[in-house]
Structure 1
Amino acid sequence: MSKAVARIAAILLLAAAPLAAATAAQADPVNDSAYGTPLVAVSGAGVIWHPTTGLSTLKAQSGLTQVDFADVMTSANHPMRTCDSTEAAGLPIKPAATVSWCWDSGDASTTTWIPQSLTTSGDADDDGTWGAYKAIISGWNYCNSGECGANARNNDARVAFIDYTNPSAPKYRWVYLVAPTDGTTNSNATSYSNNTFGPAKAHMGGMAWYGDKLYVSATGANSTGIRVFSMSEILQVNDASSAIGKTSSGYAAYGYQYVMPEVGFYSYASGTCTMSTDTGVPCFASISLDRSTSPDSLTAVEYFSDPALHGRVYRYNLGGPNFLLSANASGYTPAAQAYRTRVGNMQGVLSWNGTWYVSHSWADERGELWALNTSTGRSHTCTNPYSSAYECWGFHPESLTYDYATGLVWSLTEWTKNQCATETATPLNCGRTIFAFPRTALP
């Protein structure tokens, strides 16, 4: 999510707010100790399931070949690498990362594609693997209009299938996310009756891999909240051209070899979500899986670039057929829980045994990681050169996910080394990383 304007907006809107004690020239424009305010219950926001149809006919078309998850993993062609000192400087101070990796040089530096989320095979299955593979999946979005201006591909989505079976040498392969198209600008078609597809529009701020299903958060200001894909539905295209969908030669996906076609999506029962107020229909900025509940559940959080707006967190029960949410006959799933937080700029959410963990970001300082329930709120504190002792988290942090099989919490950071060095008033040392630490080290 774009955070470059967050600090400026906060200063303009909240200049009169109490300031945290400053240890540097800059000072947070809000009192971030208030982020520890306990959760307050609020009204829920239901979602409705919309399955796609016609996928079997699409798969039968010449130019498309159904492949297995293993086919994608064995074709992994991008080795991850050890982070350099500048990139590693952007990792959290507390909890300290016990594992960290960085992307290959092209993905580490591109500003066209932006990393947003992670999920693992520890979400997908109790044994922590999918078939023969230990895997991490990372969601990236094509640059949105706030960051790159108008572009027809804004909020296209791709996922990195990371083979983590050998944790000393992970490598990954890109897969494009696609959805039915009805020949119009409608991004929420539900039938592949035209035997073609277009990009699945999603900001990718959060992901959850549950059984064969891959849940990803959609775009803001939309009626669609979550898009759903399946590890059992992966297609190889035969045309490497810079087109997408059906072509004169078969099928293409902007040069990518593999696509995952959408199998359905969840819309907000109350209509289009809003990112301009924290009292309207929420836009799910990030999602994650909670296996500590019975039944297992999907959690979601709001993001606002204005830290004066305080996002809500939501829980939805799983347990429906085929690893979907538990729903009534009309496909409606109510929120099992909903709470107001006092945290601004929330990027990721994780829930475990009744405690909600939310990651927070500043544009020009370290982020913060808060643990909240209905009674208390807490965060690690540390010595750092920034405005608040709570700023112990990574620079430009994104989503959270918990690998239940290994006991590790994974997260990732968003900005390139060049962005860190040039897009803030005071240059930062940081870059794009993925990292993990034991769940027991959470605040």
Structure 2
Amino acid sequence: MKQRGRHRRRRRGRALRAFLSGTAVALTAAATMISASQATVTDHGPGDLKPLTASADTGELRLTENRVPQASLDRLATGMGRPVGVGAVLAGADRSLRDAIDCTPAERRALPVSPAASRAYCWNTDDTAGWQPGGVTTSGDADDDGAWGANRVILSGWSRTDGTAADRGMARVGFVNAGDLNHLSYTWALLAVPVDGGRDYRGLVSHVSGMVWYQDKLLVTADDGDRTGLYVYDMNRIQRATVAADAVGRVPGGWSANGYPFVLPAIGSYELSGDSDAPHPATVSLDRSTVPDSLVAGEWTLDDGDRSARLWRYPFSTAPGHEGLLATTATGRVRASEAYRTELTGVRGVLSYGAKWYVTRAAGPRDAHGTLWRQDAGRPDDEADEPKAAVCGAKEKHDCWSPQTESLSYWEATGEVWTQSGRTLFALPLASIDRTTG
């Protein structure tokens, strides 16, 4: 029986690879028709990354670390029960992502034309309707061996766009069991913020456009109702909800998490130190090629605006007792170790590895697809590579990428980049991005 099961999975895998290849061909044909009738604003390229070194520029990027008092966290854990870990959450993963072959044509249009996805899955309509997808991170970020204990995991951030005024903007995370890439199962956990000294909690109100899981901490971008730059969650402090109700927080008979089985209460946050015009870290990713490892951040800009985006990084701490957190000064400040400006507008996702930076641009109002540009940093201008993006279609335009990828996550142990657009979660080798933009 086990042998036959493996054969079925292999046949299924071969069918999916053939299907994804065929999808890429179909999308290329569509791009040909689109490119013949319209042009994109990115045909000229974004130019080189411009280093930002003036104190006025880098000072705006400074963060201040705020920790939830330990007494508050302990009080909440006492009230809710002993916290659980990632393994307990995955044990409750009772829903399945659909393979690419079972995705709808509309969902498959979220895949890039070039470079093509090597893996693709779709979320279920019934529990994602009224929710906006955002950031992706994996156990490949959490640990350099690609696993968290015995588990391979993908985390997917979502925020609510419908419902009552109290519900709108609520944030949640999908915990995906990625141990078998031929069958991804998942469950949900609500993101929350402790209140009243740990006697209760409220839902995080934010579009979760970026997430990074590093060591035992999950860093989440915050905007909308929660204007703090980043919230911090402890992956060893996941709480079980005890009441299956729509309410959030303490309710008669126990604790509710909007109907979800788990809730993550924040253990801290990083607050923007600049004024209201300071760049907000709207997208984040992990870079393991730096020493120490670093959190890469970028600000979003409007597609039709005249302001280009800033990209920067914060070093992670190597101090004992500060695992998974950003490096701080004695006064709790976090300073950017590197900052640049790109000429791209409509910026969404950003990834850095080595001297290369990868920046995604959202699809414009007349574009079916977005773009992904590779830019160089850290070398003299005469040695730097020219910025490049994949080309597709008869006119060889650059709008070949997925329409809307808000974050990029590099799983170094497998060499794959994971992201999502709409209800479509997909991956592709970083080497294929380099090849098509090289």
- Which TM-score tier does this pair reach, normalised by the shorter chain? 0.7 to 0.9
Q: CA deviation at 1:292?
A: 0.5
| Structure 2 counterpart of 1:293 | 290
1:391 counterpart SS class: coil
**Partner residue, 2:425:** 434
Q: Aligned AA for 1:270?
A: G
Asked if 1:195 corresponds to 2:199, the answer is yes
C-alpha distance in structure 2 between counterparts of 1:333 and 1:261, whole Å: 22
2:393 to 366, 383, 390: 383
Please tell me whether residue 101 in structure 1 is matched to residue 117 in structure 2.
Answer: no
Residue of structure 2 equivalent to 1:140: 158
| Larger CA deviation: 389-398 vs 116-125 | 389-398
Provide, for residues 211-232 of structure 1, a one-character-per-residue CA deviation record: whole Å limited to 9, x for no partner.
Answer: 0001111115965111110110
What amino acid is aligned across from residue 165 of structure 1 in structure 2?
A: G
Counterpart in the other structure of 1:311? 309
Q: CA deviation at 1:268?
A: 0.9
Pairing 1:34-45 to 2, within 5 Å after superposition: 34-42=44-52, 43-44=57-58, 45=61
CA contact (8 A) 2:304 2:346 kept: yes
SS at match of 1:252: strand
The equivalent residue for 2:169 is 155
**Structure 2 SS opposite 1:96:** coil
Match of 2:11 in 1: none
Alignment gaps of 5+ in structure 1: 1-21, 183-192, 273-279, 415-431
Shift of 1:270: 1.2
Match of 2:343 in 1: 342
Q: Deviations over 1:242-263 (max 9, x none)?
A: 1111112111111111000101
Task: State the Cα distance separating 1:411 from its structure 2 match.
Answer: 1.2
2 CA distance for matches of 1:179 and 1:158?
Answer: 12
1:398 alignment partner in structure 2: 406
Residues 395 and 413 of structure 1 are in contact (CA less than 8 Å); yes or no, is this contact kept in structure 2?
yes
| Distance (whole Å) between structure 2 residues aligned to residue 244 and residue 150 of structure 1 | 13
Q: Which runs of 5+ in 2 are unaligned?
A: 1-33, 378-383
2:420 & 2:96 partners in 1: Cα distance?
Answer: 17
Query: Is the contact made by 1:64 and 1:238 (CA closer than 8 Å) also made in structure 2?
Result: no
| Matching of residues 33-432 of structure 1 within 5 Å | 33-42=43-52, 43-44=57-58, 45-53=61-69, 54-61=72-79, 63-83=80-100, 84=103, 86=105, 87-107=107-127, 110=129, 112-143=130-161, 151-182=165-196, 193-219=197-223, 223-272=227-276, 280-308=277-305, 309-320=307-318, 321-362=322-363, 363=365, 364-374=367-377, 375=384, 376-383=386-393, 389-414=397-422, 432=423
Q: Matches of 2:224 and 2:43 in 1, distance apart?
A: 28
Structure 1 pair 400–128 and aligned structure 2 pair: CA distance change class (3 A): same
Task: State the Cα distance separating 1:25 from its structure 2 match.
Answer: 3.9
Answer whether contact 1:287 1:349 (CA < 8 A) is retained: yes
Counterpart amino acid of 2:389? Answer: S
- Counterpart residue identity of residue 52, structure 1: V
Q: Give the secondary-structure state (helix, strand or coil) at the position aligned to 1:289.
A: strand
Q: Would the alpha carbon gap of residues 222 and 75 (structure 1) be closer, same or farther in structure 2, given more than 3 Å must change? A: closer
Measured in 1, the distance between the counterparts of 2:45 and 2:343 equals: 5
SS of residue paired to 2:393: coil
Which residue type is aligned with residue 278 of structure 2?
V
User: 2-side partners of 1:264 and 1:48: how far apart?
Assistant: 11
The CA distance in 2 between the partners of 1:23 and 1:59, in whole Å, is: 56
Shift in alpha-carbon separation, 1:237–1:407, aligned structure 2, 3 A: same
CA distance in 1, matches of 2:62, 2:430: 30
Distance 2:163 2:199 in 1: 31
What CA deviation, in whole Å up to 9, does each residue of 1:32-72 have, x standing for no partner? 134431011222211111001110111101x4442221110
Where 2:112 maps in the other structure, the secondary structure is coil
Deviation by residue 1:249-304 (Cα, 9 ceiling, x = unmatched) = 111111111000101000111143xxxxxxx3001111000000011000111112
State whether residues 155 and 219 of structure 1, in contact with CA within 8 Å, keep that contact through their aligned partners in structure 2.
no
Cα RMSD (Å) of the superposition? 2.0
AA aligned to 2:296 is T
Q: Is the 8 A contact 2:205 2:224 kept in 1?
A: no
Aligned equivalents of 2:109, 2:44: Cα separation in 1: 27
Structure 1 stretches of 4+ moved >3 Å: 22-28, 220-223
Query: Matched residue of 1:305: which SS?
Result: coil
Identity within the alignment, %: 35
1:298–1:318 contact (8 Å) kept in structure 2: yes
Cα distance in 1 between the residues matched to 2:45 and 2:255: 49
* Cα distance, 1:172 vs structure 2: 0.4
User: Under a length normalisation based on structure 1, what TM-score does the superposition of the two structures give?
Assistant: 0.81
Q: How many residues align?
A: 377
Name the CA shift for 1:395/1:213 in 2 (closer, same or farther; >3 Å): same
CA deviation after TM superposition for structure 1 residue 26, in Å:
4.1
Which amino acid letter does the alignment assign opposite residue 284 of structure 1? P
